[in-house]
Structure 1
Amino acid sequence: MTIARWMPHRPHSGPAHVQVMAHRGASAAERENTTLAFMRARELRSHAVELDVRMCASGEMVVHHDPALADGRVLNTLNISDIPDEVPTLAAALDACAGMWVNIEIKNDPSEPDFDPSDTLATLVVDYLRTRGAPDQWLISSFRRETVDSVHRLWHELPTAWLDMGVADDAADALAKDLLGSGHQAYHPYVKTLTRSVVDTMHRNGVAVNTWTCDDPVRMAELVSWGIDGICTKVPNVALEVIAQAS
């Protein structure tokens, strides 16, 4: 199977360059962050999958958005044998994503019970990805800037992105320069706060912009017209249709 690779921003490349990232897999069709959701994303011809990784008490990396299971048990207090089968390990998740590149979000929020200021999980992720071949199969992101900084220090060739709720138009240039200066290649802003000015500013600086989470085809079409690099969505089939219509 051909290995899919994440590509940095490419100026003037048109709608066909827009990458569709299945948010936690094809999560409108299957339970989020499961191997079924990831395989459905591939069936729908997504370019990529976005998923969330955490660490359990026994040290394994597991794919789950929230720090706790639905029954309230916190993941970092559980051994891997205590975790339901539908919660995949990172290894199983990446196997299910074969043929797509993967945006791995490292969950490390200071307000959550599994917060780790030492970024042990970042180290585990990087060490594991080194065993799986070329670094450009992956794009690593986190809301915690220190975490993505740690990832870049650990493996300079591994593409990294900062997740954010948004930046003001007049602050975007400084942010873009800061991201580039820190070795990061992409910015991941919340779709509801994203403006065309921010996209243009990031692109002038050579920073890719992948936005989350957009399921509205009208907004998708607008983003495509702005030259967005990636759209993270629960409905990748809809995004692909929008891109095809714009091409």
Structure 2
Amino acid sequence: MLYPIGAPIVVAHRGGAGECPENTAEAFLTMGERGFRYLETDARATLDGVAVLCHDATLDRTVGAAGKVRGYTWRELARVRGGGPAVLRVDEALERHPDAVFNIDAKSDDVAAPLARAIREAGAQSRVCVASFSERRLRRLRGELPGAASSLGIGAIARIVAASRTRTGAARRRLLKGLPDAQVAQVPLSFRGVRVLTERFVASAHEAGIAVHAWTIDDVDAAARLLDMGVDGIITDVPTAMYEGLRERGLPVSRS
């Protein structure tokens, strides 16, 4: 299991976006040097179907260049120098960091096949968790990556929220039955004004054998409260400060 229940970890969101340029070679290298094994990142597809690491659909914020990721072939994108860090291919990141566990959010439908291909070609199925809001996208990724870990999409998470608010055991078990074969629910504190992450949500997910990770948590006190609730992972932009702060509080959190 990449993400066991009851063994809380710190996950570097976008490679530790509050400490390094997000989703870059520098970020992943720095996190590795600091002892962080768990890395969260994002994948998009180029025009010619190469999976690359980029959160946004466009390049202006992170790369400082014009246009959409999918508007470039990989050869063209590799030459783009807009004043920001170069874009990294998924397979490059996996091969450069063979000891890291990558949590990769597939940001669009067109990246599903290229992402699965990159993971297979790197032989990284055992150390990658694929993620997405979209249940359909996740079904496709699970089909192309048998045995690889995955997170839950919005629909499945909504069922756990409903189960956590149900007072009868039979109704709760009915809602939890038949959830997708996933290892983890990665959720915000709330979504569209509705509280998601509660102690009952964590208990319901655990009942279904699913770990719970909270995102994006940059306040150590908030993270400590979540760990007291039984949350299994803290996804954060400031992994170094988060890990050190939680350890100072005597909380048994791991970065590796």
Evaluate the alpha carbon distance shift between residue 39 and residue 150 of structure 1 in structure 2; reply closer, same or farther with a 3 A threshold.
Answer: same
Counterpart mapping for 1:205-224 below 5 A:
205-224=208-227
Return the alpha-carbon distance in structure 2 between the equivalents of residues 146 and 126 of structure 1.
Answer: 15
Note if 1:170 corresponds to 2:173: no
Task: Quote how far apart the aligned CAs of 1:32 are.
Answer: 0.6
Note if 1:63 corresponds to 2:53: yes
Return the alpha-carbon distance in structure 1 between the equivalents of residues 113 and 140 of structure 2.
Answer: 8
1:19 counterpart residue number = 9
Return the alpha-carbon distance in structure 1 between the equivalents of residues 66 and 188 of structure 2.
Answer: 27
Evaluate the alpha carbon distance shift between residue 96 and residue 132 of structure 1 in structure 2; reply closer, same or farther with a 3 A threshold.
Answer: closer
Return the alpha-carbon distance in structure 2 between the equivalents of residues 214 and 78 of structure 1.
Answer: 33
**Which range moves more in the overlay, 81-90 or 208-217?**
81-90
Return the alpha-carbon distance in structure 1 between the equivalents of residues 231 and 36 of structure 2.
Answer: 16
Evaluate the alpha carbon distance shift between residue 163 and residue 220 of structure 1 in structure 2; reply closer, same or farther with a 3 A threshold.
Answer: farther
Task: Quote how far apart the aligned CAs of 1:40 are.
Answer: 1.5
Q: Unaligned 5+ residue runs, structure 1?
A: 109-115
User: Residue 74 of structure 2 is aligned with which of 73, 76, 80?
Assistant: 80
State the Cα deviation string for residues 154-177 of structure 1 (Å, max 9, x = none).
233011112549647434456643
Contact 1:188 1:210 in 2 (8 A): yes
Q: Unaligned 5+ residue runs, structure 2?
A: 165-171
Evaluate the alpha carbon distance shift between residue 170 and residue 162 of structure 1 in structure 2; reply closer, same or farther with a 3 A threshold.
Answer: closer
2:150 counterpart residue number = 160
Task: Quote how far apart the aligned CAs of 1:73 are.
Answer: 0.1
Return the alpha-carbon distance in structure 1 between the equivalents of residues 182 and 22 of structure 2.
Answer: 27
Query: Per the alignment, in what secondary structure is the counterpart of residue 15 of structure 2?
Result: coil
Evaluate the alpha carbon distance shift between residue 100 and residue 176 of structure 1 in structure 2; reply closer, same or farther with a 3 A threshold.
Answer: farther
Contact 2:38 2:103 in 1 (8 A): yes
User: Identity of aligned pairs, percent?
Assistant: 26
1:201 counterpart residue number = 204
Counterpart mapping for 1:29-44 below 5 A:
29-44=19-34
2:239 counterpart residue number = 236
Return the alpha-carbon distance in structure 1 between the equivalents of residues 58 and 3 of structure 2.
Answer: 33
Q: TM-score, normalised by structure 1?
A: 0.82
Evaluate the alpha carbon distance shift between residue 178 and residue 158 of structure 1 in structure 2; reply closer, same or farther with a 3 A threshold.
Answer: same
Return the alpha-carbon distance in structure 1 between the equivalents of residues 243 and 46 of structure 2.
Answer: 35
Please identify the structure whose Cα radius of gyration is greater. 2
Question: Segments of 4+ in structure 1 off by > 6 A?
Answer: none
Counterpart mapping for 1:83-162 below 5 A:
83=77, 84=80, 86-108=86-108, 116=109, 120-133=110-123, 135-162=125-152
Evaluate the alpha carbon distance shift between residue 21 and residue 164 of structure 1 in structure 2; reply closer, same or farther with a 3 A threshold.
Answer: farther
Evaluate the alpha carbon distance shift between residue 227 and residue 152 of structure 1 in structure 2; reply closer, same or farther with a 3 A threshold.
Answer: same
Count, aligned residues: 225
What's the RMSD between the two structures over aligned residues?
A: 2.3
Evaluate the alpha carbon distance shift between residue 101 and residue 170 of structure 1 in structure 2; reply closer, same or farther with a 3 A threshold.
Answer: same
Contact 1:45 1:237 in 2 (8 A): no
